[in-house]
């Protein structure tokens, strides 16, 4: 994905183009996830509490129909992360370990977007940790 400025007005929100489902890897992962959810829902434990599939519904069975449903309904939820991943190689990462943007002076990214990979839980605590760690780094440098 990418971000683009809409104008020179710094108060105007940027244009955000996530490019979700833009690669075959993304499509394959979503298809596998949809199939896994249905297999889990078919287990006796879940069948005891599931009355019926609501969405996409039992009529959606073919791979093409499942992919159409994914394309229509998939979106990001909660907090997108790893869009400015941290790392030492500027070809693979946006920021270094000090959260400085590779190739630019005076610009840092200090939020969940620097996570090299998605955390397995809620992003709130790790985001707070990144902010506190960066505050310590900046205070020590001052």
Asked if residue 47 lies in contact with residue 39, where contact means CB atoms within 8 angstroms, the answer is no
Which of 109, 114, 137 is closest to 126 using CA atoms? 114
For this structure, is 102 an active site residue? no
Q: How far apart are CA 130 and CA 116, in angstroms?
A: 12
The CA-atom distances, in angstroms, between 116 and each of 61, 78, 86, 107 are 35, 17, 5, 18
Catalytic pick from 2, 25, 79, 102?
Answer: 79
Contact 3, 16 (CB under 8 A): yes
Contact criterion met (CB below 8 Å) for 112 and 127: yes
Query: What is the H or E stretch that residue 16 is in?
Result: strand 15-17
- Which residues does the annotation mark as catalytic? 79
């Amino acid at each position: 994905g990418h971000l683009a400025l809409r104008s020179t007005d710094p108060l105007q929100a940027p244009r955000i183009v996530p490019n979700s489902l833009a690669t075959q890897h993304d499509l394959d992962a979503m298809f596998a996830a949809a199939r896994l959810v249905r297999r889990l829902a078919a287990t006796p434990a879940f069948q005891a509490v599931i009355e019926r599939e609501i969405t996409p519904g039992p009529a959606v069975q073919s791979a093409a129909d499942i992919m159409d449903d994914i394309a229509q309904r998939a979106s990001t939820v909660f907090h997108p992360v790893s869009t400015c991943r941290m790392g030492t190689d500027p070809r693979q990462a946006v920021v270094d370990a000090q959260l400085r943007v590779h190739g630019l002076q005076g610009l840092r990214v200090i939020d969940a977007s620097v996570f090299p990979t998605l955390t397995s839980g809620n992003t709130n605590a790790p985001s707070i940790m990144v902010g506190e760690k960066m505050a310590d780094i900046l205070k020590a440098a001052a």
